[in-house]
Structure 1
Amino acid sequence: MEKKLIRSCSIWRALEVVGDVPILLILEASWLGGKRFDEFRRRTGLLKALLSDRLGRLVTGGLMEKKLYCDSPPRYEYLMTTKGQDLYWTALMLLRWEKKWQVKDKINVELIHKTCGKMFDPVPACGHCSEEIDPTRVAWSEGPGLGWMKPLYSRRRKTRESTGDTTSLMDQAAQIMGDRWGSLIMRSIYTGVNRFDDIRADTAIATNILSERLTWLTDMGMIRQSQYNSNPPRYEYRLRRKGVDYYHALLMLMQWGDKYFVAPEGPPLLLTHEECGHDLDPQVVCSECKEHISFQDVSYRIIDRRPMSENDSEPVPVSRTAS
């Protein structure tokens, strides 16, 4: 029997770790100052058993470390490691996309860059020319680590419910990245693989799952279906502007995957920034001072614009600062 293979990719390897909505919600809670189990439960709304399982996975995966802070009774904190903090740029791109494309009257956040003291937006920029990265101006070629491997998809439940009852800043952004199959489809389309059979060959996703995810991404406004053959009907899938803008989140995730999961031969994919002609060195910079953003350089203020009760006709702003 022929084995199904998937194009090796740092995004795929990274999604094995973070392609899960509860994982993303826990990481977000940690970036917002959460350290202890009850804080994570309050911020994420996850059930105790699920939260405990995912915290264990994050510790095992090296993204968090578990430290004892009370001996009697034993109490622990979960602190993000350097490996976990290196996902911060991915999180900023998810937040940037969410703020642009999703409902405005909900929980939002203002970011303050401590270096310049100004409120800022995170901007994806080329490390060589400092210009904002336009996804349509990035070329790709096969890298030394490109190959084909047997996919080892672990079973995960689809998580499509809104996170509206929690303090999450990301709703649809977390749903997309938390759905590994959906993210792999977007990866394929970004690299010019547009037709159903070609996407299936590229991702090794089962036909029924691929059909469902393509419909989901289409209904969400990420991609559009275009007929290229009438007899029999055949379709290809093209990016809409909303899907193009999501590129930066997967780009930063690929960079993280290249750092922590790259093959000995090198990265599987090489990117060139056509604006300057250099290898693309993606960075996240401050919209105000244009300086490189790091996790330690950012403070925030959360603004909750949701109604205080079902009887309220207007949202009530409530702001708070990071502890």
Structure 2
Amino acid sequence: MISNPDLELTHAALASSTLSHGLKVFGDRWTVQVMLSAFLGIRRFDELQSYSNIPRPTLSDRLRSLVQIGVLKPRLYQEKPPRHEYHLTRKGLGLYDATLMIWAWEKKWGQRAQDLPKTLFHQTCQHSFSPELCCKACGEKVSMKDLDYRLVPNARLHHQPMEGLRAPRMSGREATEMRLGLRVDRWSLLILTAVVLGCHYFDQITQALAIGPKVLSRRLSDMVEARLLQCETDAHDARRRLYRLTPSSRDLFGYIVCLSTWAGESHLHETSSIRPRHRACQHSFSPMVACDHCHQSLNPWEVSFPSTHGKSA
């Protein structure tokens, strides 16, 4: 039996969440692709463009935005003509947990595994590893089902309505192959979060996100096609459809919670309105991405991998 969420509270919490505001920066595939490339050591404009196939004007715009918010810093490597490399700043390095989670998802569910490191090697324990999401308080491995949530809207972040956001339709190929676009798109991740918070019906999601019915219908169709959502007929009312998470969308939870935490701690310096609690240890949940061999937290300078772009990494 599906319970009815408090839709007014859920809307206020989503609108003022660090996730929603963080996705204003990292809510499109090109921005995320630039950051993933930076962690792979791809720093020069032509290399970034060649590796990720981002249109040159779009790449220029995304690099400018990432420099402006302080996650990348340009360094001159050639004077005539002037050319720059783009290096991760301390703030940018804070996105490493989110990056590891999206890499792990891609290896399991995506179509771009050939573009990613085949193995990750933790120099601290001298073992190959897979990243796992853990509770920082108790160190235990955590999945979405291990948490519950308290909603406390943050008035300081509840200023900009979500209605003005663009939600372009993904191509059929992109939706089917579940490439970067659909799964890191701002609306898609907010829809998944609304479902996590108990909004399973069309009208509930519409109200929780203040999203237009036509836009939502189109986006839900894309997400069902990409197997990020499962659409079912309501057992109590055959006229209604409900939406549930799938195994692949549940595995996106690590990316969502790591990005939300980074946005609150490093970008916005605000507490999120969506506050998860780890039921096992009874502490507020703060994510830690750890090595599955030694169970220690991971830093980018402690991890090596085979190059995917013709340079040593």
Q: 2-side partners of 1:131 and 1:322: how far apart? A: 34
1:53 corresponds in structure 2 to 61
Q: Are the aligned partners of 1:112 and 1:299 in contact in 2 as well (CA < 8 Å)?
A: yes
What amino acid does structure 2 have at the position aligned with 1:301?
A: P
2:87 is the alignment partner of 1:79: yes
CA pair 23-230 structure 1, distance change in 2 beyond 3 A: same
Q: 1-side partners of 2:272 and 2:254: how far apart? A: 18
CA pair 288-177 structure 1, distance change in 2 beyond 3 A: same
Q: Are the aligned partners of 1:94 and 1:174 in contact in 2 as well (CA < 8 Å)?
A: no
1:288 corresponds in structure 2 to 293
Q: 2-side partners of 1:242 and 1:79: how far apart? A: 32
Q: Are the aligned partners of 1:111 and 1:120 in contact in 2 as well (CA < 8 Å)?
A: yes
Q: Are the aligned partners of 2:49 and 2:59 in contact in 1 as well (CA < 8 Å)?
A: yes
Deviation of 1:290 after TM superposition, in Å, equals: 0.8
Deviation of 1:227 after TM superposition, in Å, equals: 2.4
1:126-275 aligned at under 5 Å gives the runs: 126-143=135-152, 145=154, 148-149=158-159, 150-151=161-162, 153-155=164-166, 157-158=168-169, 160=171, 172=178, 174-228=180-234, 233-262=239-268, 266-275=271-280
CA pair 14-173 structure 1, distance change in 2 beyond 3 A: farther
Deviation of 1:126 after TM superposition, in Å, equals: 0.8
Tell me the TM-score normalised to structure 2 length.
0.85
CA pair 260-160 structure 1, distance change in 2 beyond 3 A: farther
What amino acid does structure 1 have at the position aligned with 2:297?
A: H
2:26 is the alignment partner of 1:21: no
Q: Are the aligned partners of 2:152 and 2:274 in contact in 1 as well (CA < 8 Å)?
A: yes
Q: Are the aligned partners of 1:145 and 1:262 in contact in 2 as well (CA < 8 Å)?
A: no
CA pair 128-105 structure 1, distance change in 2 beyond 3 A: closer
Q: Are the aligned partners of 2:170 and 2:222 in contact in 1 as well (CA < 8 Å)?
A: no
Deviation of 1:320 after TM superposition, in Å, equals: 6.1
CA pair 55-97 structure 1, distance change in 2 beyond 3 A: same
What amino acid does structure 1 have at the position aligned with 2:312?
A: A
CA pair 144-45 structure 1, distance change in 2 beyond 3 A: closer
Tell me the TM-score normalised to structure 1 length.
0.83
> Per residue, is there more strand in 1 or in 2?
1
Q: Are the aligned partners of 2:95 and 2:259 in contact in 1 as well (CA < 8 Å)?
A: yes
Deviation of 1:177 after TM superposition, in Å, equals: 3.9
Deviation of 1:12 after TM superposition, in Å, equals: 0.7
Q: 2-side partners of 1:107 and 1:54: how far apart? A: 21
1:8 corresponds in structure 2 to 16
CA pair 263-194 structure 1, distance change in 2 beyond 3 A: farther
Q: 2-side partners of 1:288 and 1:232: how far apart? A: 48
What amino acid does structure 2 have at the position aligned with 1:24?
A: V
2:133 is the alignment partner of 1:124: yes
Q: 1-side partners of 2:240 and 2:202: how far apart? A: 8
2:312 is the alignment partner of 1:322: yes
CA pair 289-14 structure 1, distance change in 2 beyond 3 A: same
Which of 76, 91, 95 is equivalent to 2:99? 91
Q: Are the aligned partners of 1:139 and 1:273 in contact in 2 as well (CA < 8 Å)?
A: yes
Secondary structure of the residue aligned to 1:132 is coil
Q: 1-side partners of 2:139 and 2:264: how far apart? A: 21
What amino acid does structure 1 have at the position aligned with 2:149?
A: W
Secondary structure of the residue aligned to 1:276 is coil
CA pair 42-285 structure 1, distance change in 2 beyond 3 A: same
Q: 2-side partners of 1:212 and 1:278: how far apart? A: 38
Q: Number of aligned pairs? A: 297
% identical aligned pairs: 27
Q: 1-side partners of 2:113 and 2:58: how far apart? A: 29
Q: Are the aligned partners of 1:20 and 1:177 in contact in 2 as well (CA < 8 Å)?
A: no
